[in-house]
């Protein structure tokens, strides 16, 4: 999808806020511990390369991505830090990871055996850096049995591998009830005890663990995901324990302003009909930009005041009822702060029945990204 650079609509990213959030997490950790910045899914909509480059200059310890292609994008942009692919990479592409010094997650013995055979057959010159995933209760990927983990450790003695790290992921670290979290902690320690020596990176803490369970962290590295971008991973369930600053806003400018006569309707389905003469503005953003149709009838900010959207959100445009006639070019804030009011990703998520992660990651590449340091 082409980026619409010649349109008055954009995602504004405050890089200073991201750096602030990382610094806040670092201050809450024991000295010497490390932080991996999670920049998968285009850095949760903020722009992976720009965010990673800024964090690199600020001394981040490494990056996490979801797919090998995302890691390659960072390498091609000149990033030299550790890059870990959190998802499972098909064995046939693992040589590309080794050649580009990208670390891979492995969660079963068969994968290691398959790569071992491949590496010896084609003589891949560099060792493949491996992080073993432990499935302590997420039920997604990773080792669950100590016996199989021991077998994996034997395979990792082959020089085609470099055992760089191990980790797990928690399913309920952002919930008030910590019973299941404690079960996962127990399984983590059970599997960790299988390792005769620990690898350089031991990371069991995600954003939620870093916020609400710092005393339970066993390891030396925290993976910062949504908290790095200033959002609470629990939504509104638990108050954040760190001073998090949201880093992203979505703004646009009115492209058209008209007076809608009483009895006239707006947008597809004619779901909104004016009861009196009203001023209506058109905003050049729609659901193709990630502003979901479910937000039809919600609100945006104009001059610090909440204004109602009217009619259905279209693919590329939507309409807003104005407090009075306003000029074309007036700024509209769809997500973020304007004056003394703010529309947050969590607010939009609750309105649509999803989570704040989805609000951010749904923002389309068609929206240009503008960065403030």
223 is an annotated ligand-binding site residue: no
Contact criterion met (CB below 8 Å) for 303 and 256:
no
Contact criterion met (CB below 8 Å) for 36 and 228:
no
Smallest CA-to-CA distance from 7 within 251, 185, 373, 315 is with 251
Is 289 in a helix, a strand, or coil? Answer: helix
Contact criterion met (CB below 8 Å) for 50 and 370:
no
> What span, in angstroms and rounded, lies between the C-alpha atoms of 58 and 78?
15
Smallest CA-to-CA distance from 91 within 121, 61, 70, 62 is with 121
What are the CA-CA distances from residue 28 to residues 5, 44, 213, 256 (Å)?
A: 40, 23, 11, 49
Assess whether 40 carries a catalytic annotation: yes
Assess whether 201 carries a catalytic annotation: no
Is 19 in a helix, a strand, or coil? Answer: helix
Tell me which of 40, 229, 291, 298 is the catalytic residue.
40
What are the CA-CA distances from residue 88 to residues 149, 244, 299 (Å)?
A: 17, 31, 40
Tell me which of 93, 182, 261, 268 is the catalytic residue.
268
C-alpha angle with apex 183: 179 to 186, nearest 5 degrees?
140
| Residue 175, token pair as written in the block | 């919930």
140 is an annotated ligand-binding site residue: yes
Active site residues: 40, 268
Annotated binding site: 140, 315
Annotated binding site for substrate: 140, 315
């Amino acid at each position: 999808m082409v980026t619409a650079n010649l349109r008055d609509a954009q995602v504004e990213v405050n890089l200073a806020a991201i750096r602030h959030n990382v610094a806040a997490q670092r201050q809450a950790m024991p000295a010497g511990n490390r932080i991996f910045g999670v920049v998968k899914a285009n850095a949760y909509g903020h722009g992976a390369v720009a965010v990673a480059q800024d964090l690199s200059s600020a001394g981040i310890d490494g990056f996490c991505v979801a797919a090998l292609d995302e890691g390659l994008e960072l390498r091609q942009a000149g990033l030299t830090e550790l890059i870990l692919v959190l998802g499972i990479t098909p064995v046939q592409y693992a040589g590309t990871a080794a050649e580009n010094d990208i670390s891979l997650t492995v969660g079963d013995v068969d994968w290691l055996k398959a790569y071992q055979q491949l590496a010896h057959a084609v003589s891949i010159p560099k060792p493949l850096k491996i992080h073993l995933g432990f499935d302590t209760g997420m039920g997604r990927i990773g080792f669950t049995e100590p016996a199989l983990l021991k077998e994996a450790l034997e395979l990792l003695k082959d020089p085609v591998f470099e055992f760089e790290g191990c980790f797990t992921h928690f399913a309920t670290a952002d919930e008030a009830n910590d019973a299941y979290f404690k079960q996962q902690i127990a399984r983590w320690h059970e599997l960790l005890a299988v390792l005769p020596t620990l690898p350089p990176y031991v990371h069991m803490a995600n954003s939620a663990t870093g916020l609400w369970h710092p005393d339970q962290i066993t390891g030396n590295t925290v993976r910062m995901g949504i908290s790095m971008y200033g959002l609470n991973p629990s939504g509104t369930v638990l108050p954040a324990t760190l001073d998090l600053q949201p880093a992203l806003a979505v703004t646009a400018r009115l492209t058209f302003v008209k007076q809608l006569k009483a009895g006239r309707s707006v947008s597809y389905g004619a779901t909104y009909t004016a009861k009196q003469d009203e001023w209506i503005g058109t905003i050049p953003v729609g659901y193709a930009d990630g502003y979901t149709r479910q937000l039809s009838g919600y609100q945006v900010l104009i001059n610090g005041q909440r204004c109602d959207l009217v009619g259905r959100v279209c693919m590329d445009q939507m309409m807003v009822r104005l407090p009075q006639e306003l000029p074309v070019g007036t700024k509209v804030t769809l997500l973020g702060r304007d004056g003394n009011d703010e529309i947050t990703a969590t607010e939009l998520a609750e309105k649509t029945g999803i989570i704040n992660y989805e609000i951010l990651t749904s923002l389309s590449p068609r929206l240009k990204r503008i960065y403030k340091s």
